[in-house]
Amino acid sequence: MTTSPQSPAPNPSDLILARVEAFRRCDFGLVYDTYHPVSNFRRQFPDREEYIRHGWAELGKAFRIRSCSIIREECAGTSARVIYWLEFDLHGASHGYAELAWLERDREAWRYRCGQKLTADELPVPIAQLDFSHYDRVAEKVIY
């Protein structure tokens, strides 16, 4: 299992890119550490080692990130939102989605709180034109 110390991301987009790189390296310990302590994810996986085992079992060999692009960032004090586009292969099939990530800064660093995804088929505009209002208008929001 790979683990590496986390150096605080200076801005919200840097946290997203650090998480993507951690997924790329299968550094599930770092991925876990970047979640906010009160996130739904941490409720689902309260034990870090359990998540690392889960990450390796579910993603370790089948998940390959091809690219990540930051589309928008909005920061207000200790809260931020970032829209990014992620392209990846999972079990040999190519996928992509645009995610709106909500982040919070604690005493130590920016942390991932939750997100909302739009698949390529759900995009209301070309990727570069996505903004926060497009996520507000989604009829049936799934926030994880």
The domain segmentation of the chain, as residue ranges, is 12-136
- Is residue 83 packed enough to be buried (19+ CB in 10 Å), middle (13-18) or exposed (0-12)? buried
Euclidean distance between CA atoms 5 and 49, whole angstroms: 15
Calpha distance 87→69 (Å, rounded) = 9
Tokens (6 digits) for 54: 């889960």
Q: What is the pLDDT of residue 97?
A: 97
For residue 46, the surrounding DSSP H or E stretch is none
CB 28 within 8 A of CB 56: yes
Q: What b-and-e string marks burial along 29-58, b requiring 16 or more CB atoms within 10 Å of the CB?
A: bbbbbbbbeebebbeebeeeeebbebbeee
Give the tens place of pLDDT for each residue, 76-111. 999 999 999 999 999 999 999 999 999 999 988 999
What integer pLDDT is reported at residue 6 of this predicted model?
53
The count of other CB atoms within 10 Å of the CB of residue 28 is: 24
48-80 residue pLDDT tens = 999 999 999 999 989 999 999 999 999 999 999
Residue 5: pLDDT band with limits 50, 70, 90? very low
Q: Domain 12-136's class? A: alpha beta
Average pLDDT, the chain: 93
Task: Give this prediction's pTM.
Answer: 0.92
Task: State residue 68's pLDDT score.
Answer: 98
pLDDT at 1 over 50: no
